[in-house]
Structure 1
Amino acid sequence: MSGRVLVVDDSSVIRQLIRVNLELEGFEVVTAVDGAECLDVVHRVRPDVVTLDAVMPRLDGVRTAERLRADPRTRHLPLALVSACTELEGGGVVDGERGVDAFLGKPFEPVDLVRMVRCLMHGRSGGESGGSGGAADAFGVVSEVVEP
């Protein structure tokens, strides 16, 4: 296994699309339907990376990221926002201290999703780290990856 990814999206189609593409690359995938469910399962699942949709019922992706960052147990967990809301990309949401580490716009190419997840996983586990922006250059769709 390459690692465990928690995929959080209210669309069953998107959850399945992300799941299939990541599983084909050897990742173990666990899903949640919104941020509230994510917060309920994250400690039990212990993912290596979390992908969050921005717009979800009950608790959206940005607020979920804020809560994950506020919890000492999940503060350093790599988070990616996967969203069609491109205005979030430049709005200060990509900030590893308070927000997410990466942004991937919908629609996306599966290869870009896999590269983003791998980059976040390896960047956080002591693997190669290209510094801020280095990961973005690697696959061109993430606005920024913030290294700790």
Structure 2
Amino acid sequence: MGEVLGRVLVVDDDEVIRQLIAVNLTLEGFEVETAFDGQDCLDRVVGVMPDVVTLDVMMPRLDGWVTAERLRNDEETRHIKVVLITARAQEDDRRRGLGIGVDAYLTKPFDPAELIQVVRDLAVSARAGGL
């Protein structure tokens, strides 16, 4: 087995999508953990300390917007790269995500190859100490 490309926390309340993302990233050489919603993400993120978090927007308990804001506002997690993955494709939503400070924004249905490339680029940047 080769070197691990990075650690990713995949957050989505849809188990099928969560597993699809996790399997694709694992096959590419990432170490993957999963969370089922934003609250689960926040409960686990410091213990996992991923390079990248992929984050669905529409989730119960705590949505992706609030989760991303909390990740950005916490000294321990603000350096983690965040990819929003959402069915919300309106420009206002994209602007909102960028305003929060997310690193990438992908819309569903997404191309797994594009997701892998985005996560790879962000993980390399994170591991190089890039902001």
Match of 1:139 in 2: none
Q: How far did 1:124 drift?
A: 2.6
**TM-score normalised over the length of structure 1:** 0.81
Instruction: Indicate whether 1:78 and 2:81 are aligned.
Output: yes
Correspondence for 1:141: none
Q: Does 2:96 align with 1:92?
A: yes
Q: Which residue of 1 aligns with 2:52?
A: 49
Asked if residue 10 in structure 1 is aligned to residue 3 in structure 2, the reply is no
Asked if 1:103 corresponds to 2:105, the answer is yes
TM-score normalised by length of structure 2: 0.91
Find the aligned partners of 1:109 and 1:34 in 2 and give their Cα distance: 22
* Aligned counterpart for 1:113 among listed residues 112, 115, 119: 115
Identical positions, percent:
56
Q: Distance in 2 between matches of 1:73 and 1:32?
A: 18
| RMSD of equivalent CA atoms | 1.4
Moved over 4 A (4+): none
Letter in 2 for 1:106: K
Within 1, Cα distance between the matches of 2:127 and 2:42?
22
- Paired amino acid for 2:105: F
Higher helix share goes to which structure?
2
Q: Determine the C-alpha separation between the residues in 2 that align with 1:76 and 1:42.
A: 12
Q: CA deviation at 1:115?
A: 0.2
Task: State whether residues 62 and 99 of structure 1, in contact with CA within 8 Å, keep that contact through their aligned partners in structure 2.
Answer: no
**1:53–1:61 contact (8 Å) kept in structure 2:** yes
Give, as a single letter, the amino acid of the residue that structure 1 aligns with 2:97.
V
- Count of aligned positions: 126
Return 5+ residue gaps in structure 2 as ranges.
none
Assess if the C-alpha contact under 8 Å between 2:5 and 2:123 holds in 1. no
Q: Is the 8 A contact 2:56 2:85 kept in 1?
A: yes
Higher-RCO chain (CA-CA 8 Å, sequence separation at least 6)? 2
1:35 aligns with 2:28: no
Output the amino acid matched with 2:85.
V
Letter matched to residue 119 of structure 1: D
